[in-house]
Amino acid sequence: MNHTFIMILNHMLSYLNLHLMSRFGVAMGASTGAIYYVYTGKFQSKSRKITLFIISFMFGVISAEFAANFLSAITPSSVVAETSFGAMISAALCMKILKAIGNNINDFVSLFKKS
């Protein structure tokens, strides 16, 4: 993906969200986090990049409010995280967290098993 494609994608999302959705900031934050994840990863195929972008974007939109509340809870009371920032953080980190759990699935499952 080149920079022109990303600029066009962000402009399209901005236009659609401004006119069709009320959660404009959440969509922009999620797209920013998904773009960050795709560009920092070492993925070879374009289809894999597009698929991971879509999954990361959707996860960012869905978990934006949870991430914002979590960030607000761990910071001082004078700092309030916006949902758009929560969407960006959750979109950027969701695939990394899922990949870490998947790589260590036996350790993760053993946390929930009774001894």
Look up residue 8 and give its two tokens.
């066009």
Please tell me the distance from the alpha carbon of residue 30 to that of residue 10, in angstroms, as a whole number.
11
Please tell me the distance from the alpha carbon of residue 2 to that of residue 40, in angstroms, as a whole number.
14
Listed by start position, the domains of the chain span 3-110
Please tell me the distance from the alpha carbon of residue 66 to that of residue 93, in angstroms, as a whole number.
13
> Which residue, 28, 14, 39, 36, is CA-closest to 82?
28
Q: Which residue has the tokens 């899922």?
A: 98
| Span 26-43, pLDDT tens digits | 888 888 888 888 888 787
Residue 8 has pLDDT above 60, yes or no: yes
| Span 40-89, pLDDT tens digits | 878 778 888 888 888 888 898 888 889 999 999 998 988 888 888 889 99
Please tell me the distance from the alpha carbon of residue 20 to that of residue 95, in angstroms, as a whole number.
28
